Structure 1
Amino acid sequence: MIIWILLLIAAVILLYKYGTRNFDYFQKKGLAFNKPHFLVGSRLSTVLGTKNMIEMLTEIYNEHRDEKISGMFEFNRPAYFIRDPEMIKRLCIKEFDSFSDHRLILSKEAEPLFASALFGLTGQKWRDMRATLSPAFTGSKMRLMFKLINDVGSQMSNTVLEQINKGADNKIEFKEFAQKFTIDIIASCAFGLEINSFNNPNNDFLRIARKATNFATFKTTIKLVGLLGAPWLMKIFKIKFLDEEFYKFFGAMMTDTIKTREEKKITRNDMIDLILQAKHGKQLDYDNEEHTVDGFATVEESQLGKEKVKRTWEDDELLAQCVGFFFGGFETVSSVMTFMAAELIIDPNIQKKLQDEIDEVHKSLNGETLTYEHVQKMKYMDMVVCETLRKWPPAPIVDRKCTKEFNFEYDDKKFIMEYDKNFYVPIYSLHHDERYFPEPEKFDPERFNDENKKNIRQDCYIPFGIGPRNCIGNRFALLEVKTIFYYLLLNFTFEATNETEIPLKLGRSQTTLQLENGLKCALIPRAEE
């Protein structure tokens, strides 16, 4: 009996030693760090559910507020936390060759499509795929794709207006409402399908999309903890992040669409056209066009994205890009739309000013169709969207992985970051730091007027990331949000109901910004003048 007790004590001690073996990592380097906890590292509050991701990040950011670099722990794994904008810019741009990859949380075994999408690719394969895809997201390509976006926005707003005028309930949950817009645009622009989710709200595309991007469930949280803390265990039990229905649905849809396009020689200037060219070893030319003003938040493509590539891609690799486009555009864009609508409800004066600008554009059209150029000329629209992205960035935090040993020397610090270690860029925290944005909790589009935006530091305002690995679809996302809000605010006014939660309260999602109970509001049809 005593032997078994001693063996148990020894096992507990060994487990504790193993689980805390890296906890002195930053101390050895002379860096301040967030105190880790056994097994969960710096994530105790989020694992227990007492704090959401933003609260955790804010706590870590403020604990060593004046340190350019500090440490935190992803469970037992040490990770660097970088606050200094100049340092972030240096590492993500100037030293990009040493930090060119993301840390891959979802391995190819655990999630093959995620790992093969642009976000998950590494090294030369990422460079080749980035250069293959980037020509599809230039300003000139957005002009061609705008018709598809515009058709969805116009059709959907007209459908909703007609339904409300016929007696349908005008009270909505805005996130679910926005998802219908975004899924119809993705279906059209990425897969060449017309769905009309407002007439057909139970379609499989929308149902599976919502199921795949619901990251706030207990089951999803457990999977994410497993993939972060014990990826080897997830691999053994072959546990994937997404269920099999998702793979079967998107795989069949992609295969059928490509087959139809090839047989009937259909061209739509969408993502599938790009995929077909890449499949046959061709590459679109990157337009060396004159600079187009797509909005203050637009991120310019790096030279890496403009390189010519001679490479033939496998079908699964190309399917992964469409899946990546889906995940990049569905959850994030609908979330941005929800937060923007919430801020317009909170401040009706901002909403009215934006409607006045939209009305002016509508009158200037004289019955003609809205154009790409008209959308880009809406200055106040851009200001409101930019401020939404500042206060509620779609990616609150991003990372980079060290791809080759790097020597740090700054102030009185000198240490080496080893290969495979990663650092985090706390975008949300930078956007909410009063040193860079006075009164950061205030929603103030005037920060981005012609006079004030000159004072905004480009390395402190990074809603789409920074450096060559910025969000490739940033132009598309901006165009989508502006077009949809043009049609919504042309036809409706957003108003609070007795179920609208103000102030806004964030939910417990571990990956994205979400309102705890959604945004319940009313769409009030505007009277024709």
Structure 2
Amino acid sequence: MIPILIFLGFITVLYFWLTSPHQYWSKRNVKTGKLSIFGDTLEILFAKESIIENTQKLYDSVKDARYVGVFQFRIPSLLIKSPELIKQICVRDFDHFFNHRNIFPEGAEQLWSRNLVALKGQEWKNIRCTISPSFTSSKMRYIFDLMNNNSQLFVQHFLQNHEKIVEVEFRDAFTRFTNDVIASTAFGANVDSLKERNNEFYLMGKEASDFASFSKKVKLFLYFLIPRISAFFGIEFFGEKVTSFFMNLVTESIKIREERNINRMDMLGLLIEARKEYQKEKVVVETKESCFAAVEDHFDKNIEQYLTDADIASQVFIFFFAGYDTVCRALGFMAHELAANSDVQERLIEEIDENRTAEGSPSFETIANMTYMDMVVSETLRKWPLIAVVDRVVTKPYTIDPELPGEKPVHLEKDDNIMISIWSIHHDPQYYENPEKFDPERFSQKNRNNIQPYTYIPFGVGPRSCIGPRFAILEMKALFFHLLSYFKIVPVAKTRIPLELSKKSIALTSIDNFTLGLEKRNK
């Protein structure tokens, strides 16, 4: 009898612990959808819903509203639906929302805690200003040459196959391509992962970006539910092997370059150079990024940030992490859409042929001036954004004033969470007619200006948006320029049209790993 009472007592305590936050938004006059004991995200853990299906369900749960209250297990978040409110939070009143939420408990992940995504407040701004020059047009020109070389290697690999149509699992192939691009542009290393299939760069990148395994998803949910306990028990997401690999790679590379006075314009070299400038001249930098203009009064304008080896390792890791997986998936979605929309592919091939030269590789200026290529990439990133959901944390109390009938002031407290579903905004029919259709004409010169501001945000919005959109877009354009110069991308028996999203992975990806065919062109 006593064991039964203990069990019932435990269940009762657990129930109240899980549901105790569920009055949070109703007390603040915020509508919520139908709540379960475990909040709104349990289906993702057990692969019952993809992250897109889950987020879209929450977005649609309250009609004709600018925001909706949701719960990530016990954690209340305010899902913002209004483009005007997105601007207000992420740009105009950015000083109230300038941090991201901690994905991992403080200090739990050495590689993660010092990167640009995880840093907060003044320290985030200092690092952002320090590494922003790495993404200028002049630096991108140099990096674009490396991308061209990697793209040529990628295409040559498949040209050696003499079958009429080569069936390719592009999830794997594009991951190897993005791995090689990051190896060359971040570390100055020459890697051919299609040939050297088990090179250490590739294996570590694959391990770091694994979001499909059940164990990784359980760890993420434990971080959300019980962050302090997770940190106490040393639960690691990336693991010691991955952390040691990147830390050792960066520290050894820095040591060799400094001892031998090696200067390279890759990401690691640019960060080393930034550190040298601060050491040599004690430079005090004032940011000139226009997106900071509205928040200068809330940060120290004078930036004096010394980059430690750990800082550099963290920045290079997030660069690798983002470039390895997110760009790979964007490439996969673009390949699928070209295979499913042959008219779009034919028009893109025509533009590529018009811009080809005897040398074969396009220049930086050539790619920049390819109008239809830009339209196709833009539509890919609308329909399949690299990151489905972004967040902000309230850094000081804030009130959302009422605007619509029935609304009341919403008082947000410090450390409240804000969510923005990029996917849902991009697929909302009030902003995009027939949003499920792949239509590059949305981004023609004629139509682009008709897109409502803050409804196209594939890289986020405001000062805390992604720092590397130029890099990702250049990489996509370079690869498809070379690939479509020699091949057409066609559906094969395993190709699913329409595309079906995987429910196993937290990241947005295809269930069939983008299995498509490469058919050699008759030129």
2:502 matches 1:504: no
Q: Counterparts of 1:92-491 in structure 2 under 5 Å?
A: 92-161=90-159, 163-165=160-162, 170-280=166-276, 282=278, 302-303=292-293, 309-362=303-356, 365-367=357-359, 369-411=361-403, 412-491=407-486
- Residues 509, 468 of structure 1: alpha-carbon distance in 2 compared, 3 angstrom cutoff: farther
2:12 matches 1:13: yes
Distance 1:514 1:284 in 2: 43
- The answer to whether the 8 A contact 2:62-2:68 is kept is yes
Deviation by residue 1:44-82 (Cα, 9 ceiling, x = unmatched): 322332211111111111111311011000111111011
- The answer to whether the 8 A contact 1:43-1:74 is kept is yes
Greater alpha carbon shift after TM alignment, 344-353 vs 206-215:
206-215
Structure 2 unmatched runs, 5+: none
Deviation by residue 1:9-60 (Cα, 9 ceiling, x = unmatched): 333323222221111111111110123322x211132233221111111111
Deviation by residue 1:357-402 (Cα, 9 ceiling, x = unmatched): 000000xx34374210000111000000000000000011100000
> What code does the residue aligned with 2:8 have?
I
Match of 1:22 in 2: 21
Match of 1:292 in 2: none
SS in 1 for 2:20: coil
Displacement of 1:139: 2.0
> What code does the residue aligned with 1:458 have?
P
- The answer to whether the 8 A contact 1:281-1:311 is kept is no
TM-score (norm 2): 0.93
Displacement of 1:6: 4.1
Match of 2:43 in 1: 45
> What code does the residue aligned with 1:417 have?
L
Distance 1:284 1:337 in 2: 39
Structure 1 unmatched runs, 5+: 289-298
Distance 2:11 2:192 in 1: 57
How many residue pairs end up in the alignment? 512
SS in 1 for 2:303: coil
Distance 2:441 2:104 in 1: 40
Distance 1:129 1:415 in 2: 33
Distance 2:189 2:284 in 1: 22
SS in 1 for 2:78: strand
- The answer to whether the 8 A contact 1:387-1:445 is kept is yes
- The answer to whether the 8 A contact 1:26-1:32 is kept is yes
Distance 1:183 1:407 in 2: 44
- The answer to whether the 8 A contact 1:174-1:338 is kept is yes
> What code does the residue aligned with 2:494 have?
E
Distance 1:402 1:287 in 2: 24
Greater alpha carbon shift after TM alignment, 183-192 vs 17-26:
17-26
- Residues 484, 14 of structure 1: alpha-carbon distance in 2 compared, 3 angstrom cutoff: same
SS in 2 for 1:455: coil
Distance 1:300 1:95 in 2: 15
- Residues 180, 4 of structure 1: alpha-carbon distance in 2 compared, 3 angstrom cutoff: closer
- Residues 200, 47 of structure 1: alpha-carbon distance in 2 compared, 3 angstrom cutoff: closer
Distance 1:325 1:450 in 2: 32
Displacement of 1:229: 1.4
Distance 2:410 2:95 in 1: 19
SS in 2 for 1:318: helix
Match 2:489 to one of 482, 490, 494: 494
- The answer to whether the 8 A contact 1:138-1:286 is kept is no
- The answer to whether the 8 A contact 1:402-1:419 is kept is yes
- The answer to whether the 8 A contact 1:274-1:284 is kept is no
Match of 1:31 in 2: 30
- The answer to whether the 8 A contact 1:45-1:51 is kept is yes
Displacement of 1:263: 2.4
- Residues 342, 204 of structure 1: alpha-carbon distance in 2 compared, 3 angstrom cutoff: same
- The answer to whether the 8 A contact 2:47-2:504 is kept is no
Distance 1:172 1:330 in 2: 19
> What code does the residue aligned with 1:392 have?
W
Match 2:65 to one of 59, 64, 67: 67
Displacement of 1:308: 5.9
SS in 1 for 2:22: coil
SS in 2 for 1:424: strand
SS in 2 for 1:164: coil
- Residues 201, 5 of structure 1: alpha-carbon distance in 2 compared, 3 angstrom cutoff: closer
Distance 1:421 1:287 in 2: 29
Distance 2:54 2:385 in 1: 16
Displacement of 1:5: 4.3
- Residues 357, 190 of structure 1: alpha-carbon distance in 2 compared, 3 angstrom cutoff: same
- The answer to whether the 8 A contact 1:132-1:284 is kept is no
Distance 1:458 1:69 in 2: 18
Greater alpha carbon shift after TM alignment, 245-254 vs 386-395:
245-254
Distance 2:301 2:483 in 1: 39
> What code does the residue aligned with 1:434 have?
P
Displacement of 1:342: 0.2
Displacement of 1:307: 6.5
- The answer to whether the 8 A contact 1:160-1:198 is kept is no
SS in 2 for 1:23: helix
Match of 1:296 in 2: none
> What code does the residue aligned with 1:217 have?
S
Match of 2:76 in 1: 78
Match of 1:294 in 2: none
Greater alpha carbon shift after TM alignment, 14-23 vs 123-132:
14-23
Match of 1:291 in 2: none
- The answer to whether the 8 A contact 2:211-2:506 is kept is yes
Deviation by residue 1:190-229 (Cα, 9 ceiling, x = unmatched): 1110112122122111122112212111111111111111
Displacement of 1:409: 1.1
Distance 2:59 2:187 in 1: 40
- The answer to whether the 8 A contact 1:131-1:308 is kept is no
Displacement of 1:459: 0.6
SS in 1 for 2:438: coil
Distance 1:279 1:244 in 2: 27
Superposed CA RMSD in Å reads: 2.2
> What code does the residue aligned with 2:365 have?
E
> What code does the residue aligned with 1:144 have?
Y
TM-score (norm 1): 0.92
- The answer to whether the 8 A contact 2:501-2:509 is kept is yes
SS in 1 for 2:231: helix
- The answer to whether the 8 A contact 1:499-1:520 is kept is yes
SS in 2 for 1:500: coil
> What code does the residue aligned with 1:432 have?
H
Distance 1:516 1:236 in 2: 36
SS in 2 for 1:423: strand
